[in-house]
Amino acid sequence: MINYKKIIQTIIRTNSFQKVLVFFCFFLAGYFVLRIYIYAPSENTVTYSNNNFYVLGVNIPSTLDFCGEKIPSNNYEIKKNLEKEFFSNAYWKNNSAVLFAKAQKWFPYIEPILKKEGVPDDFKYVAVIESHLSNIVSPAGAAGFWQLVPASARNYNLEVNEYVDERYHVEKATHAACKLFKAAHSNFNNWTLSAAAYNLGIGGIQAALKKQNTTNYYDLLLNKETGSFVYRILAYKTLFSSPQHFGLKKKKWTYYTPIPYKVYKVDSAISNLSAFAKHVGCNKATIKFFNPWLLQDFLPNPTRKTYEIRVPKNLTADYSTYIRDLAGEDGGLSQDPEEAPVKTEVGVKDTLTTNAKMILHVVKENETIEELADFYEVKASQLRKWNNLKEKQEAVAGQTLSIYY
């Protein structure tokens, strides 16, 4: 039992400083009691906010669908998986901004093919998660935007050999991917399962459905990659449909502006690609840039097949600002897919050397070393080293940087 009378008598006998200190402590204790029991909030609130650096919270839409097939987002496990992919893609905002810019360039090219083939528009996001819209090669040998393996590519009439690889021909590769999607749909009569089958294979999904006695993708227990495949598609679909809600700003990226081109039809062999390039008024690097499916410096053609080789309309311009797709995400020399035709010609000021192992980039206003390193997919420290820049030193507008790959 606390003896309050004794406590008060003790306080009276203390000196003035001690009295002030004791009363101050009582005041603080009383304040916190009032704060906790009287002014406590009536309910918990969660605020989702967005700033210039990253998204602090993600508000997932209450209704989602893939190819018109509704997502049962009221299920706890499904909701958790959705939140994981949404937060991941919103958090990596810089990467998402680059992909969003690339999508503005490539989706208008891919979408008409999906429509013509009778494949739902949502399948364009498969290319985003498979390759980040770059001509990369996986350790398993899958290549191009759609990450087709050689056997599948040949099954759908793509030419893949040591001279030509049409997996890098975006138009032809998209048609091949559509045939794979439709083949899966003919088995499952369900687009969600068809998307999962693109990752695991038709046989893999069929075996999982049979073993787990279900017909629903969202009820399946799959490996990590296939299990998150559709959720990642949904995340990018929502992100790209409402970029402003995730901190992405719609702005024009010069690097991803389509370039107008003209077509040369060739039904004979090309013994020397450099000589051919000179004949049409450009250089070999430009031919490679517009025709990434040409793998060698020559093209044998014993069957007299007609190839369409694309060359830029504006032969006086050069294209180093577009080289990011050419470099590929693996940092090696992949090639950039051909461009969709456009009516307006685009002039570019940068210099592209005839040596495909080096690029000269003219720094523009407000460009930083970190941004350029990310764009060309090299290390910032290496970029500074190549150009005799000190640690954390920035290049100035108008300066020409050498970039090797």
Residues 168 and 335: beta-carbon distance below 8 Å? yes
**Are residues 322 and 207 part of one domain?**
no
Mind listing the pLDDT tens digit for each residue in 301-314?
Answer: 889 899 999 988 87
Number of domains in the chain: 3
The predicted model gives 32-54 an average pLDDT of 49
Name which of 215, 176, 210 is nearest 193 in CA terms: 215
Residue 37 — very low, low, confident or very high, per pLDDT cuts 50/70/90?
A: low
Residue 122 — very low, low, confident or very high, per pLDDT cuts 50/70/90?
A: very high
**Are residues 258 and 240 part of one domain?**
no
User: Is residue 58 domain-resident?
Assistant: no
Instruction: Tell whether the torsion through CA atoms of 347, 351, 357 and 363 is positive or negative.
Output: negative
Q: Look at residue 33 in the predicted model and tell me its pLDDT.
A: 61
Residues 13 and 21: beta-carbon distance below 8 Å? no
Please report how the helices 93-117 and 76-91 are oriented relative to each other, as an axis angle in degrees rounded to 10: 110
Residue 337 — very low, low, confident or very high, per pLDDT cuts 50/70/90?
A: very low
User: Is residue 300 domain-resident?
Assistant: yes
Q: Which helix (H) or strand (E) holds 240?
A: helix 229-241
Q: Which residues pair with 361 in a beta bridge?
A: 401
In whole angstroms, give the CA distance from residue 172 to residue 146. 11
User: Is residue 156 domain-resident?
Assistant: yes
Domain limit, last residue, from 246, 281, 310:
246
Range name among 69-73, 158-162, 240-244 with the lowest pLDDT average: 240-244
**How far apart, in Å, do the first and last CA atoms of the chain sit?**
81
DSSP helix/strand/coil, 403: strand
In whole angstroms, give the CA distance from residue 76 to residue 91. 22
Range name among 99-113, 121-135, 266-280, 337-351 with the lowest pLDDT average: 337-351
Name which of 354, 355, 356, 363 is nearest 387 in CA terms: 363
In whole angstroms, give the CA distance from residue 28 to residue 86. 44
Name which of 91, 108, 11, 3 is nearest 53 in CA terms: 91
User: Is residue 19 domain-resident?
Assistant: yes
Q: Look at residue 317 in the predicted model and tell me its pLDDT.
A: 53
Which two three-digit tokens encode residue 352? Answer: 């592209």
User: Is residue 21 domain-resident?
Assistant: yes
Name which of 330, 282, 351, 275 is nearest 310 in CA terms: 282
**Are residues 207 and 142 part of one domain?**
yes
Residue type, 157: N
The predicted model gives 75-96 an average pLDDT of 72
Q: What is the CA radius of gyration of the chain?
A: 30
Residue 282 — very low, low, confident or very high, per pLDDT cuts 50/70/90?
A: confident
Domain limit, last residue, from 246, 271, 300:
246
Q: Look at residue 348 in the predicted model and tell me its pLDDT.
A: 27
User: Is residue 393 domain-resident?
Assistant: yes
In whole angstroms, give the CA distance from residue 267 to residue 305. 5
Q: Look at residue 205 in the predicted model and tell me its pLDDT.
A: 96
**Whether the predicted pLDDT of 40 surpasses 80:** no
pTM score above 0.75: no
Range name among 87-101, 138-152, 337-351 with the lowest pLDDT average: 337-351
Give the contacts of 143 (CB within 8 A, at least 6 positions apart): 135, 136, 137, 165, 167, 168
**Are residues 150 and 76 part of one domain?**
yes
Q: Look at residue 42 in the predicted model and tell me its pLDDT.
A: 47
22-36, 128-142, 322-336 — which one is most confidently predicted on average? 128-142
Q: How far is C-alpha 158 from the geometric centre of its chain's CA atoms?
A: 25
Neighbours of 280 (CB within 10 A): 14
The predicted model gives 103-115 an average pLDDT of 91
**Are residues 272 and 138 part of one domain?**
no
What is the extent of the structural domain holding 149? 65-246
Residue 49 — very low, low, confident or very high, per pLDDT cuts 50/70/90?
A: very low
User: Is residue 59 domain-resident?
Assistant: no
Range name among 82-86, 130-134, 194-198, 344-348 with the lowest pLDDT average: 344-348
Residue 325 — very low, low, confident or very high, per pLDDT cuts 50/70/90?
A: very low
**Are residues 281 and 387 part of one domain?**
yes
Residues 191 and 66: beta-carbon distance below 8 Å? yes
Domain limit, last residue, from 226, 246, 266:
246
CATH of the domain at 147: 1.10.530.10
Residue 333 — very low, low, confident or very high, per pLDDT cuts 50/70/90?
A: very low
Average model confidence (pLDDT) for the chain? 77
**Are residues 377 and 263 part of one domain?**
yes
Range name among 141-150, 191-200, 242-251 with the lowest pLDDT average: 242-251
**Are residues 262 and 229 part of one domain?**
no
User: Is residue 137 domain-resident?
Assistant: yes
Instruction: DSSP letter for 235, please.
Output: H
In this predicted model, which residue has the larger pLDDT, 161 or 376? 161
In whole angstroms, give the CA distance from residue 147 to residue 330. 14
Which two three-digit tokens encode residue 167? Answer: 């997996």
117-126, 246-255, 322-331 — which one is most confidently predicted on average? 117-126
Angle at 362 between CA 359 and CA 363, to 5 degrees: 120
Give percent helix, percent strand, percent coil of the chain, each to the nearest 5.
Answer: 50, 10, 40
The predicted model gives 110-136 an average pLDDT of 95
Share of the chain above pLDDT 90, in %: 35
113-127, 132-146, 366-380 — which one is most confidently predicted on average? 113-127
Residues 380 and 370: beta-carbon distance below 8 Å? yes
Instruction: DSSP letter for 342, please.
Output: -
**Are residues 375 and 393 part of one domain?**
yes
**Are residues 242 and 259 part of one domain?**
no
**Are residues 116 and 32 part of one domain?**
no
Q: Look at residue 149 in the predicted model and tell me its pLDDT.
A: 95
**Are residues 269 and 141 part of one domain?**
no
DSSP for 164-214? BBGGG-HHHHHHHHHHHHHHHHHHHS-HHHHHHHHHH-HHHHHHHHHHHT-
DSSP for 266-288? E-S-BS-HHHHHHHHTS-HHHHH
**Whether the predicted pLDDT of 339 surpasses 50:** no
